Structure 1
């Protein structure tokens, strides 16, 4: 059980990171923005929880950014932004500053504070906090243009109020031969999100043909998610057994769920 009835988990992950250069001229040095830490868990007092996002400019030019929040959820195949629900944290989430300049080599911090109302009752509330560069980077030369594209970086925020817990179950395994992968469908019937790591082995007639580890993947509270298993070897048509263990953590305590499920690869 949780040591505190309320706690905050902030999971950071880059939702997009790319640069697009058009034309033949040399692109100007683009600022590079790093975000940390990856996960923060804090106990809340009287319904309030706090966390800090650290932003660092490892590039050679100043970076002006704005900070804003959006509701989100996860579907079977990934994140879905703007999905409003009763679990929307944005009305209860404050952060400061909302816009800042980060000089080369400088580190700045953004403070998050969530204040959940007692009338909300027990449950999990979530939002994604974006850091978005505002600097304009087009460079015009005679007949040519260079454009630097620097998409936003998202921080997913989960605030849990009360004694809420995940409850995972493996539902099915479906071969996707065109992708060379297996979709392991995991459901979460609980009222708290989990991020299981998957240790797996694929066998046929008692012989293991592939094995590996799938990194932690978010399975949202009350939802399900395809965990994409990618065997490194080519598989011939037939029926295999996908077995292994899901491992996740609840309030610092390790939870595991073994599974063994058939999966069939059909002939093309």
Structure 2
């Protein structure tokens, strides 16, 4: 007796905002910029670079190369048909990356990008290149303009077995673009600081604001001090999520340390990497 296949499509969004960047300055037309390679996993399709930052004057044009690397340890691995498209993207206040139809966001750069090929077949063991040409309008406003090159497997190339239950994995990857038009400004501020504790540890929620027009990549740390001023838990210094120009970010930070009942203070330090001094915030924490 045949059973209809129960097929689940799993979209794997491989957006690595903190991965190696391909950064270039374009004051005039120039040769293709060499991308920074990221090491793909043993099996699967990798997109490199995952982030491209270009500082470009109005009216300038440049071309970059985004590589698709298909690796597989399976000798019977088959070729895959992939298709590329453009999206707008943003980071929400709670730190989620969201994608939108191209040209629908106020700071969209999707209309500035032309890419080729739009569709291709990738073979195991080979690297395939997509050339992306960026042309900045002469009247472009200063600040960061965002776009994403999204690459995914065509649905009609997925193999379905009609007589059995299965899971089909459909790859969806993105290379995000920051097109930076001078004059760029970065103005970070700590707007609020909250802390709470439960059985799993301490949660610290700083609210960060970027009053400028270009992305901030702050570096921060946190400490929990008891009533005597002794450090009882801490989060070592590390890079937070990017804070886009004109945006706010409230990212939860978790310290895996269960606290005994008592009164504590949480000290949060942040360097916005904008040329200003280190900022420190302190908030009270009572554990009952």
TM-score with structure 1 length normalisation? 0.77
From 73, 78, 81, the equivalent of 2:99 is 81
SS at match of 1:120: coil
**Equivalence for 1:264:** 285
From 17, 37, 41, the equivalent of 2:49 is 37
| Contact in 1 for aligned 2:269/2:279 (Cα 8 Å) | yes
1:247 and 1:12 map into 2 onto residues whose CA distance is 27
- Is 1:168 equivalent to 2:188 in the alignment? yes
1:223 and 1:11 map into 2 onto residues whose CA distance is 28
Unaligned runs of 5+ in 1: 14-30
2:65 and 2:284 map into 1 onto residues whose CA distance is 43
| Contact in 1 for aligned 2:149/2:174 (Cα 8 Å) | yes
Deviations 1:130-171 (A, max 9, x none): 111123132233xx2212122411222110111112211112
Q: 1:72 to 1:39 in 2, by over 3 A?
A: closer
Q: Size of the alignment, in residue pairs?
A: 242
2:260 and 2:36 map into 1 onto residues whose CA distance is 39
1:12 and 1:56 map into 2 onto residues whose CA distance is 10
- Is 1:189 equivalent to 2:211 in the alignment? yes
Q: 1:266 to 1:47 in 2, by over 3 A?
A: farther
Q: RMSD of the TM alignment (CA)?
A: 3.2
**Equivalence for 1:47:** 60
**Equivalence for 1:207:** 230
TM-score with structure 2 length normalisation? 0.72
Matches within 5 A, 1:3-42: 32-42=44-54
Q: 1:151 to 1:104 in 2, by over 3 A?
A: closer
State which drifts further: 155-164 or 213-222.
213-222
